[in-house]
Amino acid sequence: MSQNSINSRQIFANPFSKEYWKLAAGEFKKQRVLIFAALMIALRVALKSLGIPIAADLKINVAFFINAYGAMVFGPVVAIVAAAISDTLGCILFPTGVYFFPFIFIEIAGSLCFALFLYRAEVTAKRVILSRFCIDFFVNIVLNTPVMWLYYHMVMGKNYAIFDMIRIVKNLAMFPIESVLLILFLRMVIPPTQKLGYIYSGADKLRFNKRNIILMVVLVLIGAGAVTGYAINNYNTTSMSASYSPQQRLERNTEMNAWVVDENEALSAEDTVTIIESAYRKVGNPNITYSLAVYRLDQEAFATKAEADETYTLDTVNGYSKSKAAADEVLTRIGTATAITDKKTGEHLSLECAFD
């Protein structure tokens, strides 16, 4: 038997070898593989909008079965191109909104994960489970987040909640269900595909056992733990003031200004502006800690600017964010303050001021 014949049927334990990628790239030279890839692309596009309902607002997109099947047959190199083509055709034929190019990387990443775990490998239940977890967690949660942020920011002109709990819970909840269904699907399609000579691994190791169940449970716990840890860190380190609406910022700055003026007899409400620079709350802490910047308002400069611009009012100044206050020449920073309020009731607990 020739060396080329041996290589053509070679199975790899992992994709970290030159020979693996050489064979994967060589799939482009096989006419029947390209025909098969074209069929998979057509099926993915046709099935993209179809799903199996599981619960309210929860469904399984059946196209992922075709994605996994195709990636297992033609490997990571062809999978990247096939994913790019299917995403583009799907947007053209079945548009669901404004086309946004970076979404193509989500499609490519999903196909690549399946290919790296299933192409020229001994297809086992463990590999299928791990491939599905990588997609549900690392692709649909981790990678999808910055892409969605860009989409909302650049296309919709809105802020995107980085920590989207609904999307995260859906992916973690769907992971074991999708894993089980994908294993059952591959058990059906692998034997005839093997007979046709497209793959070289059988379906005899696609069987459930206690280890597979334990693996799914552990992965769900790891995902939930990572999400919980991120949520706590995000809650503790993200300033509430970053998400204030203009009206909220005006109201809270005005409230803090009144508090600062009441505690310092040398200040007057007419000449003082207080800006919230940050507002942090922490898990387990019943209070909110505000960092404040205290400014003196130059009445003469303000009057001149207000006369030249009708939209420039005291509400404009009192509604400033940290950066806008620092940039306005009518304000002179005279000190800082740290304020603590009750998280639930808003009660003023303590205020410490330091003036220049």
Convert the chain into a string of H (helix), E (strand) and C (coil).
CCHHHHHHCCCCCCCCCHHHHHHHHHHHHCHHHHHHHHHHHHHHHHHCCCEEEEECCEEEECHHHHHHHHHHHHHHHHHHHHHHHHHHHHHHHCCCCCCCCCHHHHHHHHHHHHHHHHCCCCCCHHHHHHHHHHHHHHHHHHHHHHHHHHHHHHHHCCCCCCCCHHHHHHHHHHHHHHHHHHHHHHHHHHHHHHHCCCCCCCCCCCCCCHHHHHHHHHHHHHHHHHHHHHHHHHHHHCCHHHHCCHHHHHHHHHHHHHHHHHHCCCCCCCCEEEEEEEEEECCCCCEEEEEEEEEEECHHHHHHHHHHCCCCCHHHHHCCCHHHHHHCCCEEEEEEEEEEEECCCCCEEEEEEEEC
201 or 341, which is more confident: 341
Token representation of residue 224: 């939930």
pLDDT of residue 227: 86
**Separation between Cα atoms, residue 215 and residue 235, nearest integer Å:** 30
Cβ–Cβ under 8 Å, residues 257 and 269: yes
Per-residue confidence (pLDDT) for residue 170, from 0 to 100: 84
With beta carbons less than 8 A apart as the criterion, state whether 339 and 256 touch. yes
Predicted pLDDT of residue 6: 41
Task: Judge if pTM exceeds 0.85.
Answer: no
pLDDT at 56 over 60: no
Q: Cα dihedral sign for 94, 95, 101, 106?
A: negative
Burial of 308 (0-12, 13-18, 19+ CB in 10 A): exposed
Q: What is the pLDDT of residue 4?
A: 46
284-301 exposure pattern, b = at least 16 Cβ within 10 A, e = fewer: eeebbbbbbbbbbbbeee
Domain boundaries, the chain: 3-238, 241-355
Mean pLDDT of 182-211: 91
Mean pLDDT of the 169-193 span? 92
Least confident segment among 47-56, 178-187, 222-231, 317-326: 47-56
Residues forming beta bridges with residue 274, ordered by sequence position: 294
Supply the pLDDT for residue 97: 73
Residue 123: predicted pLDDT: 94
> According to CATH, what is the number of the domain 3-238?
1.10.1760.20
